[in-house]
Structure 1
């Protein structure tokens, strides 16, 4: 099966520490990790955020459905986080896991450069994240810069 890769770079008026917290704090992720164009519930990312610990991408509704699971593969706060990423049914089959790297660095004049690299995606997952990551990361940027999220602002 052909594998795909995805890279997204954004610049956020913030600090590396605030960007890091926005990626790892479940209370903050639930504020921006949603698709502003859909009526789907927001998600949150839950983990101990330690090397080798599991993480879960959980719907913030009564179902608490876990959509994505993985493990923390590398962690260097507030600079770099690497996680595995898979569907729950593929949790035990590492050949079906993809890999997400968040790289956070100071850029210039109070800007932080956030690079998200998602490697080894199957075609179905690539299609989903190709619109998902830009939406989520735009929402993250807006939330950190304004305290508001994009839901309800896009017609």
Structure 2
């Protein structure tokens, strides 16, 4: 099965600020699901994301174990502040952890007058659980189910207003 999902958003910001918000754990822990992401920004470098205490507490309260590393991958291409290509795999769930690595591409384009277009392309070949996860859900009350659309919306809000969607 070959699936590619593309998400695009326009942000009133600079490529450098968007790049930092994606790759700097001080920034990326402030939006989306709040889990810091760490990048070795070189070809072949490591990517990983760690569980927050809130995630671990939720797991404990619901009788399951939360791994310290909740996502991992490898950097395939780095062109700051324009393009980042990496492999990506979610480890929080046994189903996604058993699937092959997927490929995630961030493209940042300076469009006009201080506005940038951020495009996320997620290639999800043979990874149906990942595809469902990152697509998100529109069901009311689906905690943590917003996928890439939620992450991008929260990133945009943070960069443009200084506040998260949930603040």
Q: Fold conserved (TM > 0.5)?
A: yes
**TM-score, scaled to structure 2:** 0.78
Give the equivalent residue in structure 2 for 1:77: 80
- After superposition, give the CA deviation of every residue in 1:77-111 in whole Å (9 maximum; x if it has no partner): 00000010124489xx9x81110000001011210
Ranges of 4+ aligned residues in structure 1 off by more than 4 Å: none
Partner of 1:104: 108
Q: Distance in 2 between matches of 1:102 and 1:15?
A: 15
* Unmatched 5+ stretches in structure 2: 57-66, 137-146
The one of 45, 53, 59 aligned to 2:51: 59
Alpha carbons 2:107, 2:120 under 8 Å: kept: yes
Cα RMSD after superposing both structures: 2.0
**Match of 1:31, SS?**
coil
Report what 2:121 is aligned to: 117
Check the 8 A contact 2:86/2:104 in 1, yes or no.
Answer: yes
Consecutive unaligned residues in structure 1, runs of 5 or more: 35-41
Are 1:84 and 1:97, in contact at CA under 8 Å, matched by a contact in 2?
A: yes
Matched residue, 2:41:
49
Q: Normalized against structure 1, the TM-score is what?
A: 0.84
Deviation at 1:60, TM superposition (A): 2.1
Aligned residues: 141
